Amino acid sequence: MRTAQRIADLPPYLFAEIDNKVAVKRAEGADVISLGIGDPDTPTPARIVDRMAEAIRDTRNHKYPSYVGAQRYREACAEWMQTRFGVDVDPDEEVVALIGSKEGIAHIFLAFVDPGDVTLVPGAGYPVYTTGGILAGGDYHYMPMTEENDFLADFESVPADMLSRARMMFLSYPNNPTSAIATQEYFDRAIEFAREHDLLIVHDNAYSEIGYDGYVPPSFLERPGAKDVAIELFSCSKAYNMTGWRVAFACGNATAIEALGRVKTNIDSGVFTAIQDAAIEAFTGPQDSVAELVELYTRRRDRVVAVLDSIGLAARKPKATIYVWPKIPAGYTSASFATHVLDAADVIVSPGSAYGPSGEGYIRITLTTPDDRLDEALERIRDTL
């Protein structure tokens, strides 16, 4: 049986590969500690779970949901954007519900990319920024990111032949996997660049609520002119420990939101309405749990960076996200060092090269592991060196 060429061109999904490695090791009897996937280890806040329990018993939620999101959900998303960032978005024309950010990222390609079109993607970024384009029949170009440039994707270095075919550009700050943050000046340059070259910017703001040491991540849409060229994606996954709930939203440029919604209405279904009700509670209820989560991750971040520094794996202390991005020792590639740690210590870390060419020379370590297991994993890594 012959599959489509687009499937042949598709690399294995990084996190599915990590799951497979964990399963194989555990089947062999190994005590594996995974620092490879950013899945919160603490539960969804009780107030959100309680609202879900109530909503799931409401028979009005037992029907097909709206493709683009319930009116009350889109209004809550718009209210959150105004309260959190001071950004006005029209809930009717500038907001669409998503079954998690990943779904929105994948579907936006079908709305804007024809075969042969180019998407500009960060040199180290969420893998779906490239695989979504492959499935749509498009090409992609990695924008270089270096530590010397604070891991800001260098869109101004894109070759003219690529730029002439470019239709979209992905940005994500705070950045996964590098934990880099962006300046207002950088966002303003990106907006002008997109305007000049007729690009849609898709800003993935999945870590907007995870900031440290007084840093409060902004919205890309706060910048003047951003809504003319951009949409932004937000998720309940990391801020509210709702990774398995699969609920998010996109907002911004009305033309882009309508196009994304049109794709969804043809090949997708909406988010279960009871889950939307739970997400409304997440956005509009007390935010104490977010502050507590940030405090937990701050303590873990400090511990991880200190231990890594003591064993020669230098890492910047991140100001946001749930990741630490250390350099690997000399003599290894990102993949070979991740394999070494897995074989010698039964610890899973993500090779930086899996996120793009600018990730080579680094690994990604998550902070979403209970303290005692995190400490043990670090000690095991120390012992391998």
Q: What confidence tens digit (pLDDT) does each residue in 280-303 have? A: 999 999 999 999 999 999 999 999
Nearest residue to 333 via CA among 311, 357, 312 = 357
Q: Using alpha carbons only, how large is the chain's radius of gyration in Å?
A: 21
Q: In what order do the strands lie in the sheet with 166-171?
A: 95-98, 248-252, 230-235, 200-204, 166-171, 118-122, 139-143
Q: How far is CA 286 from CA 24, 48, 289, 292, 353, in A?
A: 41, 10, 8, 12, 39
What is residue 15's predicted lDDT score, i.e. its pLDDT?
A: 63
Average pLDDT, the chain: 95
Which residues sit opposite 166 in a β-bridge? 118
- Identical topology for domains 5-44+288-384 and 63-284: no
Per the CATH hierarchy, to which homologous superfamily does domain 5-44+288-384 belong? Aspartate Aminotransferase, domain 1 (3.90.1150.10)
- Summarised one tens digit per residue, pLDDT across range 60-82 is 999 999 999 999 999 999 999 99
Q: Does the reported pTM lie above 0.85?
A: yes
Q: Which CATH code fits 63-284?
A: 3.40.640.10
Sequence ranges of the domains in the chain: 5-44+288-384, 63-284
User: Is residue 279's pLDDT more than 90?
Assistant: yes
What is residue 6's predicted lDDT score, i.e. its pLDDT?
A: 80
